[in-house]
């Protein structure tokens, strides 16, 4: 939305909304070799379909919206044009994740399950974060 005044000033507001977004999956954890114990070549005993599905369940990123403001003023004097403007993005300084990926370092069910049982997985998904409030 934008307003432009006949006296050469203007102000605008924009919003962005992101929803239903997920981190990229680790493709190796979606292969048959994921459930095979490398020591025995057999399926992990507790790698049931339900346990594998629960371990690999994707967590959605949070939905978020951003509010951005922009405005300016211009002057025309003696045939010369002068203008200034200012912009503030992410006005409410929202913290948000824009994407990410699941790590593939734990390439089998046993390793990934053990890492998750620790409570603070060493190889949890990695995320990218957007900027907080910025201005120019």
Q: What is the DSSP string of 25-43?
A: P-GGGGSGGGGB-TTTSSB
The band of 88, judged by pLDDT with boundaries at 50, 70 and 90, is very high
In a 3-state reduction of DSSP, which class is residue 130? coil
pLDDT tens digits for range 37-64: 999 999 999 999 999 999 999 999 999 9
Nearest one of 109, 112, 101 to 32, comparing CA atoms: 109
Structure tokens at 112: 């990934």
Nearest one of 113, 105, 117 to 45, comparing CA atoms: 113
**CA–CA separation, 69 and 91 (whole Å):** 7
Tell me what the pLDDT averaged over the chain comes to: 93
Q: Say if residue 2's pLDDT is above 90.
A: yes
Read off the pTM: 0.75
């Amino acid at each position: 939305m934008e307003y432009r005044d006949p006296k050469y000033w203007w102000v605008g507001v924009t919003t962005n909304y992101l929803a239903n977004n997920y981190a990229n999956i680790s493709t190796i954890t979606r292969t048959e070799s994921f459930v095979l114990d490398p020591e025995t070549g057999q399926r992990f005993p507790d790698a049931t379909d339900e346990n594998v599905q629960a371990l690999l369940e994707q967590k959605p990123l949070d939905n978020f919206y951003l509010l951005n403001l922009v405005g300016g003023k211009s002057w025309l004097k003696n045939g010369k044009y002068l203008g200034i403007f200012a912009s503030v993005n992410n006005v409410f300084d929202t913290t948000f994740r824009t994407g990410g990926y699941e790590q593939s370092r734990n390439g089998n069910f046993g390793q990934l399950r053990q890492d998750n049982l620790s409570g603070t997985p060493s190889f949890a998904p990695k995320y990218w974060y957007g900027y907080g409030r910025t201005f120019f």
